[in-house]
Structure 1
Protein backbone atom coordinates (compact mmCIF):
# COMPACT_ATOMS: atom_id res chain seq x y z
CA UNK A 1 0.00 0.00 0.00
CA UNK A 2 1.30 3.47 -0.92
CA UNK A 3 1.24 5.93 1.96
CA UNK A 4 0.57 9.48 0.80
CA UNK A 5 2.66 12.26 2.36
CA UNK A 6 0.82 14.62 4.68
CA UNK A 7 1.29 17.51 2.26
CA UNK A 8 0.14 15.61 -0.85
CA UNK A 9 -1.40 17.83 -3.49
CA UNK A 10 -4.80 16.13 -3.37
CA UNK A 11 -5.21 16.89 0.33
CA UNK A 12 -5.99 20.38 1.63
CA UNK A 13 -6.00 19.63 5.36
CA UNK A 14 -4.53 16.80 7.43
CA UNK A 15 -4.85 16.18 11.16
CA UNK A 16 -2.47 13.54 12.48
CA UNK A 17 -2.98 12.27 16.05
CA UNK A 18 -4.27 15.67 17.14
CA UNK A 19 -5.16 16.12 20.82
CA UNK A 20 -6.33 19.28 22.56
CA UNK A 21 -6.72 19.53 26.33
CA UNK A 22 -7.83 22.38 28.57
CA UNK A 23 -7.02 22.95 32.26
CA UNK A 24 -9.77 21.79 34.60
CA UNK A 25 -9.06 22.29 38.28
CA UNK A 26 -6.03 20.20 39.19
CA UNK A 27 -6.22 18.21 35.95
CA UNK A 28 -7.21 18.63 32.32
CA UNK A 29 -10.14 17.76 30.11
CA UNK A 30 -9.53 16.41 26.61
CA UNK A 31 -11.60 18.09 23.89
CA UNK A 32 -9.81 16.12 21.15
CA UNK A 33 -8.14 12.75 21.68
CA UNK A 34 -5.72 11.48 19.01
CA UNK A 35 -7.82 12.58 16.04
CA UNK A 36 -6.53 11.70 12.57
CA UNK A 37 -8.43 12.89 9.50
CA UNK A 38 -7.84 14.01 5.92
CA UNK A 39 -9.84 16.55 3.94
CA UNK A 40 -9.24 16.11 0.23
CA UNK A 41 -8.97 18.92 -2.29
CA UNK A 42 -12.36 19.89 -3.68
CA UNK A 43 -14.37 17.84 -1.17
CA UNK A 44 -17.20 18.77 1.19
CA UNK A 45 -17.03 17.22 4.66
CA UNK A 46 -19.59 17.67 7.43
CA UNK A 47 -18.59 17.15 11.06
CA UNK A 48 -21.29 16.05 13.50
CA UNK A 49 -21.55 14.79 17.04
CA UNK A 50 -23.28 15.32 20.38
CA UNK A 51 -22.75 18.51 22.34
CA UNK A 52 -19.24 18.53 23.78
CA UNK A 53 -17.96 15.95 21.28
CA UNK A 54 -15.13 18.17 20.05
CA UNK A 55 -16.59 19.44 16.76
CA UNK A 56 -15.74 23.09 17.22
CA UNK A 57 -12.34 22.29 18.70
CA UNK A 58 -11.53 20.15 15.66
CA UNK A 59 -12.45 23.03 13.37
CA UNK A 60 -10.44 25.54 15.42
CA UNK A 61 -7.33 23.35 15.42
CA UNK A 62 -7.66 22.54 11.73
CA UNK A 63 -8.04 26.25 10.92
CA UNK A 64 -5.08 27.32 13.03
CA UNK A 65 -7.21 29.24 15.50
CA UNK A 66 -5.92 27.02 18.31
CA UNK A 67 -2.69 25.08 18.58
CA UNK A 68 -3.08 21.38 19.48
CA UNK A 69 -1.68 20.05 22.71
CA UNK A 70 -0.05 17.32 20.62
CA UNK A 71 -0.19 16.02 17.07
CA UNK A 72 0.24 17.66 13.70
CA UNK A 73 -1.94 19.84 11.46
CA UNK A 74 -1.02 20.50 7.83
CA UNK A 75 -2.97 23.08 5.78
CA UNK A 76 -2.15 23.73 2.11
CA UNK A 77 1.16 21.93 2.58
CA UNK A 78 2.13 24.02 5.62
CA UNK A 79 2.83 22.33 8.95
CA UNK A 80 1.17 24.75 11.37
CA UNK A 81 3.45 23.79 14.25
CA UNK A 82 6.44 25.07 12.28
CA UNK A 83 4.93 28.51 11.69
CA UNK A 84 5.56 31.56 13.83
CA UNK A 85 2.53 33.45 15.09
CA UNK A 86 3.01 35.99 12.29
CA UNK A 87 3.26 33.34 9.57
CA UNK A 88 0.26 31.52 11.02
CA UNK A 89 -1.76 34.75 10.92
CA UNK A 90 -0.74 35.27 7.29
CA UNK A 91 -1.75 31.71 6.40
CA UNK A 92 -5.17 32.12 8.01
CA UNK A 93 -5.62 35.44 6.23
CA UNK A 94 -4.52 34.30 2.77
CA UNK A 95 -5.28 30.57 2.56
CA UNK A 96 -8.17 29.91 4.95
CA UNK A 97 -11.76 31.15 4.70
CA UNK A 98 -14.28 31.26 7.54
CA UNK A 99 -18.08 31.34 7.60
CA UNK A 100 -19.87 31.38 10.94
CA UNK A 101 -23.45 31.25 12.20
CA UNK A 102 -23.24 34.98 12.90
CA UNK A 103 -22.70 36.84 9.65
CA UNK A 104 -20.19 39.28 11.21
CA UNK A 105 -20.72 41.93 8.55
CA UNK A 106 -19.82 45.57 9.18
CA UNK A 107 -23.20 47.38 9.23
CA UNK A 108 -21.81 50.65 7.86
CA UNK A 109 -20.20 49.01 4.81
CA UNK A 110 -21.83 47.93 1.57
CA UNK A 111 -21.79 44.29 0.47
CA UNK A 112 -18.92 45.08 -1.88
CA UNK A 113 -16.96 46.81 0.89
CA UNK A 114 -17.58 43.92 3.31
CA UNK A 115 -16.27 41.42 0.76
CA UNK A 116 -13.18 43.58 0.15
CA UNK A 117 -12.47 43.97 3.88
CA UNK A 118 -10.09 40.97 4.26
CA UNK A 119 -7.95 42.36 1.45
CA UNK A 120 -7.81 45.81 3.05
CA UNK A 121 -6.94 44.33 6.45
CA UNK A 122 -4.08 42.49 4.75
CA UNK A 123 -2.77 45.79 3.41
CA UNK A 124 -3.70 44.91 -0.16
CA UNK A 125 -5.56 47.15 -2.53
CA UNK A 126 -8.80 45.29 -3.36
CA UNK A 127 -9.22 44.21 -6.95
CA UNK A 128 -12.73 45.49 -7.61
CA UNK A 129 -13.25 42.99 -10.43
CA UNK A 130 -12.32 40.11 -8.10
CA UNK A 131 -14.71 41.41 -5.44
CA UNK A 132 -17.49 41.69 -8.00
CA UNK A 133 -16.77 38.16 -9.22
CA UNK A 134 -17.04 36.88 -5.64
CA UNK A 135 -20.43 38.58 -5.25
CA UNK A 136 -21.58 37.24 -8.63
CA UNK A 137 -20.54 33.73 -7.58
CA UNK A 138 -23.00 33.92 -4.67
CA UNK A 139 -25.76 35.48 -6.77
CA UNK A 140 -25.47 39.01 -5.39
CA UNK A 141 -23.94 41.00 -8.24
CA UNK A 142 -26.96 43.32 -8.15
CA UNK A 143 -26.63 43.91 -4.38
CA UNK A 144 -23.05 45.21 -4.30
CA UNK A 145 -24.09 48.65 -3.07
CA UNK A 146 -26.51 47.44 -0.39
CA UNK A 147 -25.69 47.54 3.31
CA UNK A 148 -26.46 44.57 5.59
CA UNK A 149 -29.68 46.14 6.93
CA UNK A 150 -30.97 46.23 3.34
CA UNK A 151 -30.34 42.50 2.85
CA UNK A 152 -32.19 39.41 4.05
CA UNK A 153 -30.51 36.96 6.42
CA UNK A 154 -29.76 34.60 3.56
CA UNK A 155 -28.28 37.39 1.49
CA UNK A 156 -26.11 38.48 4.41
CA UNK A 157 -24.77 34.94 4.75
CA UNK A 158 -24.08 34.92 1.01
CA UNK A 159 -22.04 38.09 1.46
CA UNK A 160 -20.15 36.34 4.26
CA UNK A 161 -19.43 33.41 1.92
CA UNK A 162 -18.22 35.80 -0.81
CA UNK A 163 -15.98 37.52 1.74
CA UNK A 164 -14.50 34.15 2.72
CA UNK A 165 -13.87 33.21 -0.92
CA UNK A 166 -12.38 36.47 -2.19
CA UNK A 167 -8.84 35.48 -1.15
CA UNK A 168 -9.23 32.14 -3.01
CA UNK A 169 -8.57 30.06 0.13
CA UNK A 170 -7.21 26.54 0.10
CA UNK A 171 -9.98 25.53 2.50
CA UNK A 172 -13.23 27.04 3.71
CA UNK A 173 -14.34 26.29 7.27
CA UNK A 174 -18.00 26.79 8.14
CA UNK A 175 -19.32 26.59 11.70
CA UNK A 176 -23.11 26.11 11.74
CA UNK A 177 -23.50 28.40 8.68
CA UNK A 178 -27.28 27.90 8.50
CA UNK A 179 -27.92 27.99 12.27
CA UNK A 180 -29.33 31.53 12.22
CA UNK A 181 -31.47 31.00 9.11
CA UNK A 182 -34.96 29.64 8.53
CA UNK A 183 -35.24 26.28 6.78
CA UNK A 184 -35.88 27.64 3.29
CA UNK A 185 -33.07 30.21 3.44
CA UNK A 186 -30.76 27.63 4.97
CA UNK A 187 -31.34 25.32 2.00
CA UNK A 188 -30.41 28.15 -0.36
CA UNK A 189 -27.11 28.72 1.44
CA UNK A 190 -26.37 24.98 1.45
CA UNK A 191 -27.03 24.80 -2.30
CA UNK A 192 -24.61 27.69 -2.71
CA UNK A 193 -21.92 25.91 -0.67
CA UNK A 194 -22.44 22.72 -2.67
CA UNK A 195 -22.06 24.71 -5.90
CA UNK A 196 -18.86 26.34 -4.67
CA UNK A 197 -17.39 22.86 -4.08
CA UNK A 198 -18.58 21.38 -7.37
CA UNK A 199 -17.91 24.32 -9.67
CA UNK A 200 -14.75 25.75 -8.12
CA UNK A 201 -13.19 22.66 -6.50
CA UNK A 202 -13.30 24.40 -3.12
CA UNK A 203 -12.43 22.32 -0.07
CA UNK A 204 -15.14 22.78 2.56
CA UNK A 205 -15.31 21.55 6.16
CA UNK A 206 -18.60 22.30 7.90
CA UNK A 207 -19.61 21.74 11.52
CA UNK A 208 -23.36 21.21 11.82
CA UNK A 209 -26.00 19.60 14.02
CA UNK A 210 -28.54 19.42 11.16
CA UNK A 211 -28.82 16.05 9.35
CA UNK A 212 -30.28 17.75 6.26
CA UNK A 213 -27.28 20.08 6.11
CA UNK A 214 -24.86 17.20 6.59
CA UNK A 215 -26.56 15.32 3.75
CA UNK A 216 -25.30 18.00 1.34
CA UNK A 217 -21.72 16.89 2.00
CA UNK A 218 -19.67 14.17 0.31
CA UNK A 219 -19.05 12.53 3.67
CA UNK A 220 -19.81 12.99 7.35
CA UNK A 221 -17.38 12.51 10.22
CA UNK A 222 -19.03 11.66 13.54
CA UNK A 223 -17.27 12.68 16.75
CA UNK A 224 -17.91 11.63 20.34
CA UNK A 225 -15.77 12.24 23.41
CA UNK A 226 -13.13 13.95 21.28
CA UNK A 227 -12.62 11.02 18.90
CA UNK A 228 -13.76 10.18 15.38
CA UNK A 229 -16.23 7.35 15.99
CA UNK A 230 -17.76 6.84 12.56
CA UNK A 231 -17.75 8.03 8.96
CA UNK A 232 -20.46 8.06 6.30
CA UNK A 233 -19.98 8.67 2.57
CA UNK A 234 -22.70 9.78 0.14
CA UNK A 235 -25.02 10.63 3.05
CA UNK A 236 -28.74 11.26 3.01
CA UNK A 237 -30.75 12.70 5.92
CA UNK A 238 -32.14 9.33 7.05
CA UNK A 239 -28.73 7.65 7.12
CA UNK A 240 -27.24 10.59 9.02
CA UNK A 241 -30.02 10.43 11.64
CA UNK A 242 -29.55 6.68 11.98
CA UNK A 243 -25.80 7.03 12.55
CA UNK A 244 -26.33 9.82 15.07
CA UNK A 245 -28.80 7.67 17.04
CA UNK A 246 -26.32 4.79 17.11
CA UNK A 247 -23.57 7.17 18.20
CA UNK A 248 -25.63 8.66 21.01
CA UNK A 249 -26.73 5.22 22.17
CA UNK A 250 -23.12 4.08 22.46
CA UNK A 251 -21.99 7.12 24.47
Structure 2
Protein backbone atom coordinates (compact mmCIF):
# COMPACT_ATOMS: atom_id res chain seq x y z
CA UNK A 1 0.00 0.00 0.00
CA UNK A 2 1.35 3.40 -0.99
CA UNK A 3 1.77 5.85 1.86
CA UNK A 4 1.76 9.61 1.58
CA UNK A 5 4.60 11.51 3.22
CA UNK A 6 2.77 14.84 2.93
CA UNK A 7 -0.97 15.53 2.68
CA UNK A 8 -2.72 18.86 2.13
CA UNK A 9 -6.46 19.06 2.83
CA UNK A 10 -8.61 22.11 2.04
CA UNK A 11 -5.62 24.43 2.12
CA UNK A 12 -6.52 28.11 2.00
CA UNK A 13 -4.00 30.94 2.39
CA UNK A 14 -4.95 34.61 2.44
CA UNK A 15 -2.70 37.65 2.61
CA UNK A 16 -3.56 41.29 3.24
CA UNK A 17 -6.97 42.77 4.01
CA UNK A 18 -9.65 44.91 2.43
CA UNK A 19 -8.92 45.90 -1.15
CA UNK A 20 -5.46 44.35 -0.81
CA UNK A 21 -6.74 40.96 0.27
CA UNK A 22 -5.24 38.20 -1.90
CA UNK A 23 -6.23 34.54 -1.83
CA UNK A 24 -2.98 32.72 -2.56
CA UNK A 25 -4.42 29.21 -2.08
CA UNK A 26 -8.10 28.45 -2.52
CA UNK A 27 -9.04 25.04 -1.13
CA UNK A 28 -6.12 22.93 -2.37
CA UNK A 29 -6.27 19.22 -1.54
CA UNK A 30 -3.52 16.86 -2.66
CA UNK A 31 -0.84 14.54 -1.36
CA UNK A 32 2.70 13.42 -2.11
CA UNK A 33 3.40 9.68 -2.12
CA UNK A 34 6.49 8.38 -0.39
CA UNK A 35 9.43 7.82 -2.71
CA UNK A 36 8.09 9.98 -5.54
CA UNK A 37 9.20 13.17 -7.31
CA UNK A 38 6.51 15.82 -7.82
CA UNK A 39 6.90 19.10 -9.71
CA UNK A 40 4.57 22.02 -8.95
CA UNK A 41 4.05 24.49 -11.80
CA UNK A 42 1.81 27.38 -12.77
CA UNK A 43 1.83 31.00 -13.88
CA UNK A 44 3.35 33.72 -11.73
CA UNK A 45 1.06 34.35 -8.77
CA UNK A 46 -0.63 30.95 -9.05
CA UNK A 47 0.29 29.96 -5.49
CA UNK A 48 3.23 27.62 -6.14
CA UNK A 49 5.58 29.01 -3.51
CA UNK A 50 2.76 29.51 -1.01
CA UNK A 51 1.82 25.84 -1.38
CA UNK A 52 5.43 24.83 -0.81
CA UNK A 53 5.82 27.10 2.22
CA UNK A 54 2.60 25.84 3.82
CA UNK A 55 3.48 22.20 3.11
CA UNK A 56 6.90 22.71 4.68
CA UNK A 57 5.57 24.47 7.76
CA UNK A 58 7.22 27.78 6.90
CA UNK A 59 3.80 29.48 6.68
CA UNK A 60 0.55 28.56 8.40
CA UNK A 61 -2.54 28.42 6.17
CA UNK A 62 -5.69 30.32 7.11
CA UNK A 63 -7.66 27.09 6.74
CA UNK A 64 -6.96 23.44 6.07
CA UNK A 65 -4.68 20.70 7.36
CA UNK A 66 -1.08 19.86 6.51
CA UNK A 67 0.31 16.50 7.60
CA UNK A 68 4.02 15.66 7.30
CA UNK A 69 5.29 12.18 8.13
CA UNK A 70 2.07 11.46 10.02
CA UNK A 71 2.14 14.68 12.09
CA UNK A 72 -0.51 17.40 11.77
CA UNK A 73 1.28 20.73 11.65
CA UNK A 74 -1.69 22.72 12.96
CA UNK A 75 -1.43 20.86 16.26
CA UNK A 76 2.19 21.90 16.84
CA UNK A 77 3.39 24.93 18.75
CA UNK A 78 6.22 26.98 17.29
CA UNK A 79 8.97 25.08 19.12
CA UNK A 80 7.68 21.67 18.04
CA UNK A 81 7.14 22.93 14.49
CA UNK A 82 10.72 24.17 14.39
CA UNK A 83 11.98 20.77 15.55
CA UNK A 84 9.89 18.95 12.95
CA UNK A 85 11.19 21.19 10.15
CA UNK A 86 14.75 20.65 11.36
CA UNK A 87 14.49 16.89 11.73
CA UNK A 88 11.99 15.70 9.12
CA UNK A 89 12.08 18.28 6.31
CA UNK A 90 14.92 19.16 3.94
CA UNK A 91 15.03 22.47 2.08
CA UNK A 92 16.75 23.39 -1.17
CA UNK A 93 16.33 26.90 -2.57
CA UNK A 94 17.39 28.78 -5.69
CA UNK A 95 19.88 30.72 -3.56
CA UNK A 96 22.26 28.12 -2.20
CA UNK A 97 22.35 29.74 1.27
CA UNK A 98 25.74 28.30 2.12
CA UNK A 99 27.85 30.00 4.78
CA UNK A 100 30.87 31.43 2.98
CA UNK A 101 33.33 30.96 5.85
CA UNK A 102 32.56 27.24 6.26
CA UNK A 103 33.83 24.37 4.15
CA UNK A 104 31.44 22.16 2.21
CA UNK A 105 31.62 19.52 4.95
CA UNK A 106 30.98 22.11 7.67
CA UNK A 107 27.97 23.46 5.77
CA UNK A 108 26.56 19.95 5.46
CA UNK A 109 27.12 19.26 9.16
CA UNK A 110 25.46 22.50 10.29
CA UNK A 111 21.86 21.17 10.60
CA UNK A 112 23.10 18.30 12.75
CA UNK A 113 25.00 20.67 15.01
CA UNK A 114 21.91 22.89 15.33
CA UNK A 115 19.96 19.78 16.32
CA UNK A 116 22.41 19.17 19.14
CA UNK A 117 24.24 16.32 17.47
CA UNK A 118 27.98 16.26 17.05
CA UNK A 119 28.27 14.88 13.51
CA UNK A 120 31.37 12.93 12.63
CA UNK A 121 33.56 13.79 9.68
CA UNK A 122 32.44 10.51 8.14
CA UNK A 123 28.77 11.59 8.20
CA UNK A 124 29.48 14.83 6.36
CA UNK A 125 31.76 13.08 3.88
CA UNK A 126 29.12 10.40 3.26
CA UNK A 127 26.48 13.05 2.55
CA UNK A 128 28.82 14.78 0.11
CA UNK A 129 29.69 11.44 -1.48
CA UNK A 130 25.98 10.90 -2.11
CA UNK A 131 25.96 14.03 -4.29
CA UNK A 132 29.30 13.25 -5.93
CA UNK A 133 31.40 15.77 -4.00
CA UNK A 134 33.41 13.72 -1.51
CA UNK A 135 36.60 15.22 -2.93
CA UNK A 136 35.37 18.79 -2.34
CA UNK A 137 34.68 18.42 1.38
CA UNK A 138 37.30 21.00 2.43
CA UNK A 139 36.48 23.58 -0.23
CA UNK A 140 34.62 26.76 0.68
CA UNK A 141 31.66 27.98 -1.44
CA UNK A 142 33.81 30.51 -3.32
CA UNK A 143 35.95 27.60 -4.54
CA UNK A 144 32.94 25.72 -5.95
CA UNK A 145 30.90 26.19 -9.11
CA UNK A 146 27.22 27.08 -8.88
CA UNK A 147 26.22 23.51 -9.60
CA UNK A 148 28.59 22.20 -6.94
CA UNK A 149 27.23 24.70 -4.41
CA UNK A 150 23.69 23.52 -5.08
CA UNK A 151 24.77 19.92 -4.67
CA UNK A 152 26.30 20.85 -1.29
CA UNK A 153 22.96 22.44 -0.40
CA UNK A 154 21.21 19.18 -1.34
CA UNK A 155 23.69 17.19 0.79
CA UNK A 156 22.93 19.56 3.68
CA UNK A 157 19.19 19.02 3.16
CA UNK A 158 19.73 15.27 3.34
CA UNK A 159 21.96 15.36 6.43
CA UNK A 160 19.09 14.78 8.88
CA UNK A 161 17.59 12.01 6.71
CA UNK A 162 14.34 13.92 6.20
CA UNK A 163 10.99 12.42 5.28
CA UNK A 164 10.63 14.92 2.44
CA UNK A 165 12.81 17.38 0.54
CA UNK A 166 11.17 20.59 -0.68
CA UNK A 167 13.00 22.35 -3.50
CA UNK A 168 12.02 25.86 -4.61
CA UNK A 169 13.40 26.59 -8.10
CA UNK A 170 16.61 24.65 -7.32
CA UNK A 171 18.01 25.11 -10.84
CA UNK A 172 16.93 28.72 -11.33
CA UNK A 173 20.45 30.13 -10.84
CA UNK A 174 22.28 27.43 -12.79
CA UNK A 175 23.32 26.96 -16.41
CA UNK A 176 21.80 24.08 -18.38
CA UNK A 177 24.64 21.63 -17.71
CA UNK A 178 24.60 22.21 -13.94
CA UNK A 179 20.80 22.15 -13.95
CA UNK A 180 20.71 18.69 -15.49
CA UNK A 181 23.31 17.45 -12.98
CA UNK A 182 21.18 18.66 -10.07
CA UNK A 183 17.96 17.24 -11.54
CA UNK A 184 19.58 13.88 -12.22
CA UNK A 185 20.77 13.90 -8.62
CA UNK A 186 17.25 14.56 -7.30
CA UNK A 187 15.87 11.87 -9.60
CA UNK A 188 18.51 9.45 -8.33
CA UNK A 189 17.63 10.17 -4.70
CA UNK A 190 14.05 9.16 -5.46
CA UNK A 191 14.86 6.08 -7.52
CA UNK A 192 17.84 4.84 -5.53
CA UNK A 193 17.00 5.85 -1.98
CA UNK A 194 13.22 6.24 -1.87
CA UNK A 195 13.44 9.94 -1.03
CA UNK A 196 10.27 12.01 -1.41
CA UNK A 197 10.93 15.23 -3.37
CA UNK A 198 8.55 18.13 -4.07
CA UNK A 199 9.91 20.80 -6.41
CA UNK A 200 8.49 24.14 -7.50
CA UNK A 201 9.72 25.08 -10.97
CA UNK A 202 8.77 27.24 -13.95
CA UNK A 203 10.89 25.12 -16.31
CA UNK A 204 9.16 22.31 -18.27
CA UNK A 205 12.55 20.64 -18.83
CA UNK A 206 13.04 20.42 -15.06
CA UNK A 207 9.48 19.20 -14.49
CA UNK A 208 10.04 16.38 -17.00
CA UNK A 209 12.30 14.70 -14.42
CA UNK A 210 9.32 14.29 -12.08
CA UNK A 211 6.84 11.43 -11.77
CA UNK A 212 3.95 13.87 -11.55
CA UNK A 213 3.32 17.53 -12.35
CA UNK A 214 0.73 19.56 -10.42
CA UNK A 215 -0.57 22.65 -12.20
CA UNK A 216 -1.87 25.61 -10.21
CA UNK A 217 -3.77 28.68 -11.37
CA UNK A 218 -5.25 31.43 -9.21
CA UNK A 219 -4.53 29.44 -6.07
CA UNK A 220 -6.35 26.32 -7.27
CA UNK A 221 -5.16 22.92 -8.39
CA UNK A 222 -6.40 22.79 -12.00
CA UNK A 223 -4.64 19.78 -13.50
CA UNK A 224 -2.31 16.89 -12.78
CA UNK A 225 0.00 15.21 -15.26
CA UNK A 226 1.63 11.86 -14.61
CA UNK A 227 4.84 10.58 -16.13
CA UNK A 228 6.75 9.68 -18.02
CA UNK A 229 6.36 13.16 -19.49
CA UNK A 230 8.28 15.04 -22.15
CA UNK A 231 9.32 18.67 -21.96
CA UNK A 232 7.09 19.38 -24.97
CA UNK A 233 4.02 17.83 -23.38
CA UNK A 234 4.45 19.85 -20.21
CA UNK A 235 5.18 23.08 -22.10
CA UNK A 236 2.07 22.59 -24.26
CA UNK A 237 -0.16 22.14 -21.20
CA UNK A 238 1.33 25.23 -19.54
CA UNK A 239 0.65 27.21 -22.72
CA UNK A 240 -2.95 25.96 -22.81
CA UNK A 241 -3.37 26.85 -19.14
CA UNK A 242 -2.14 30.38 -19.71
CA UNK A 243 -4.69 30.80 -22.51
CA UNK A 244 -7.64 29.57 -20.45
CA UNK A 245 -9.87 32.25 -18.90
CA UNK A 246 -9.77 32.60 -15.13
CA UNK A 247 -12.78 31.31 -13.30
Give the match for residue 171 of structure 1.
164
Q: How many pairs does the alignment contain?
A: 244
Give the alignment partner of residue 81 of structure 1, picking from 64, 70, 74.
74
Give the alignment partner of residue 122 of structure 1, picking from 95, 107, 115.
115
User: C-alpha separation between the residues in 1 aligned to 2:123 and 2:161?
Assistant: 10
CA positional deviation for 1:142: 0.5
User: C-alpha separation between the residues in 1 aligned to 2:108 and 2:230?
Assistant: 33
Give the alignment partner of residue 250 of structure 1, picking from 236, 244, 247.
244
Give the match for residue 96 of structure 2.
103
TM-score under structure 1 normalisation? 0.95
* Residue 67 of structure 1 pairs with residue 30 of structure 2: no
| CA shift digits 1:26-80 (9 cap, x unpaired) | 5621000000011000000000000000000000000000001000000000000
CA positional deviation for 1:193: 0.6
* Residue 15 of structure 1 pairs with residue 8 of structure 2: yes
Greater than 4 Å deviation, 4+ residue runs: none
Does the C-alpha gap of structure 1 residues 44 and 146 become closer, same or farther in structure 2, counting only changes over 3 Å?
same
* DSSP 3-state at the match of 2:214: strand
| CA shift digits 1:93-115 (9 cap, x unpaired) | 00000000000000110000000
Does the C-alpha gap of structure 1 residues 9 and 126 become closer, same or farther in structure 2, counting only changes over 3 Å?
farther
User: C-alpha separation between the residues in 1 aligned to 2:22 and 2:182?
Assistant: 35
CA positional deviation for 1:127: 2.9
* DSSP 3-state at the match of 1:35: strand
User: C-alpha separation between the residues in 1 aligned to 2:195 and 2:235?
Assistant: 26
* Residue 220 of structure 1 pairs with residue 246 of structure 2: no
User: C-alpha separation between the residues in 2 aligned to 1:236 and 1:77?
Assistant: 33
Give the match for residue 240 of structure 1.
234
* Residue 161 of structure 1 pairs with residue 167 of structure 2: no
User: C-alpha separation between the residues in 1 aligned to 2:109 and 2:20?
Assistant: 44
TM-score under structure 2 normalisation? 0.97
Unaligned runs of 5+ in 2: none
| CA shift digits 1:87-139 (9 cap, x unpaired) | 00000000000000000000110000000011111221113222111100000
Greater mean alpha carbon deviation, residues 118-127 or residues 150-159:
118-127
Unaligned runs of 5+ in 1: 1-7
* DSSP 3-state at the match of 1:168: coil
